[in-house]
Amino acid sequence: MNLTVEHKENISQEDINIFYEFCKKSVDNAEIASYLEACVRCGLCFEACHFAVSENISGKMKPELVPAYKADLLRDIYKENYTILGKIKKALGFGVKITPEKIKEQKFLVYDTCTNCDRCARVCPMGIETPKLTSIVRGALSLAGQAPEDLVNATNAALETGSPFGIDKESYLQILTDISKNHDIQIPIDKNNSEYLYITTSLDLTQFQDSIAKAAKIFNRANLNWTMSSIAREGSNMGVFLGRKDIQKELGKRILEGAKKVGAKYLIYAECGHGYQFLRYVAPNLFEDWDFEVILVDELAYKLINERKINLNKKVLKQTATLHYSCQIGRRGGLTQIPRELTKMVSENYVDSIDKAEKNLCCGGGGGVVINEEAHEHMQKAFLLKIEQYDKVGAKNIVTYCANCQFVLDMNSKEYNRDYQIKSLIELIAEAMED
């Protein structure tokens, strides 16, 4: 499939029509309709949204940032096409009027100030999953050429080269060769009849190469039959950020092909939130022959420790440590307690910075926000809430099990001149492993 995404500076009537028709088609099902009908405007989702709260405490109250409001245009499109009152209003000339300014506002609401962290859905008394609604709007905007330019460029690079950073097959193989030499570690590639396939991301390949080496050390120590793949070489999926199932499927197909070629039964996925969400919960519904068990690399390490295939013999974090729960892996994916137990295993002084893992605040850069330069100011404001959270418990080490979170937390810590040490959980496990 020859897919490309377009970015347009100007918004034509044709673009507005494309946006409208995508929304209209997407709300024609019982689940989405129930969400659009159920909102009672209680306002609880306001306090759950890190963007809404951070804008408020900075002195610039923006009521449009309330998550419920972000679905209002979608709700209006639904009503005028699928409710009697809405159809009457449309017939009388009082239908939905979408202007270029309205399209720009939608982009701000769903791309610049939303990470699809799911926190709003957890407090909603009506059970409305707002991230599903904002993802529809994202998909409509991307088809109309109104997705953020940075996300569009990354998506097209992923479709063309297999990586949002433009890392092609040759570069990928060279990076793994260099990691293998620099760390004196064996990294098998395209090994047939491998039970486990390790899938990483471009962020690891460029920013966190130690995490690849440390994961390989754990796999080799446990004598796993594993490999990496020159086909399934990128676990991130830009289609998730754009709300585009066609792009999700095209990029996911490469994972499927690579996994089948090496004969894998298990897909070990690197520390990455949205990719984990896609591989574990979305891909099985996109591909009939998706017959793999997806397991996060930290989840596998925990299993190996319990089976005594690897041993931890030291606490590698001396100063106060806390865990940052990934929204996509933790709150949405359900993996919270294992990372917490692992963090306690490698820390001399562990503290919880939140009373319940499901209430943890997003890093502020998920959902593609960190890639989107236009959203940088809002991401920075949201980080003030994380500073308050960490300083309250005196945390010095912030442990993460998502590379995107690690990147965002480290970047914002430096911008605010904080001395937090942002640590990868899988790297800490490897460092604590018995020699």
Residue 217 sits in the same domain as residue 283: yes
Tokens (6 digits) for 246: 């066609």
What is the rounded CA–CA span in Å between residue 41 and residue 63?
12
What is the rounded CA–CA span in Å between residue 423 and residue 324?
10
pLDDT digits (tens, 9 = 90+) for 398-415: 999 999 999 999 999 999
Residue 1, pLDDT > 60, answer no
**Residue 41 burial (C-beta neighbours within 10 Å; 0-12, 13-18, 19+):** exposed
pLDDT value of residue 179: 98
Residue 24 sits in the same domain as residue 70: yes
Residue 211 sits in the same domain as residue 281: yes
pLDDT digits (tens, 9 = 90+) for 280-336: 999 999 999 999 999 999 999 999 999 999 999 999 999 999 999 999 999 999 999
- pTM (two decimals): 0.94
240, part of any domain: yes
pLDDT digits (tens, 9 = 90+) for 37-86: 999 999 899 999 999 998 876 566 678 889 999 999 999 999 999 999 98
Residue 134 sits in the same domain as residue 234: no
Dihedrals phi, psi of 203, to nearest 5 degrees: -65, -40
Residue 174 sits in the same domain as residue 277: yes
Q: Which residues is 302 bridged to in the sheet?
A: none
pLDDT value of residue 435: 67
143, part of any domain: yes
4, part of any domain: no
2, part of any domain: no
**At residue 102, what is the residue type?**
K
What is the rounded CA–CA span in Å between residue 338 and residue 315?
17
What is the rounded CA–CA span in Å between residue 184 and residue 213?
9
Residue 257 sits in the same domain as residue 210: yes
Instruction: For residue 337, give its domain range.
Output: 321-432
pLDDT digits (tens, 9 = 90+) for 27-39: 999 999 999 999 9
Domain CATH number, residue 90:
1.10.1060
Per-residue DSSP letters for 291-324? --EEEEHHHHHHHHHHTTSS-B----B-S-EEEE
What is the rounded CA–CA span in Å between residue 384 and residue 426?
27
206, part of any domain: yes
Residue 177 sits in the same domain as residue 269: yes
**At residue 202, what is the residue type?**
S
407, part of any domain: yes
What is the rounded CA–CA span in Å between residue 392 and residue 386?
10
Q: Which residues is 251 bridged to in the sheet?
A: none
What is the rounded CA–CA span in Å between residue 297 and residue 280?
13
What's the domain count of the chain? 3
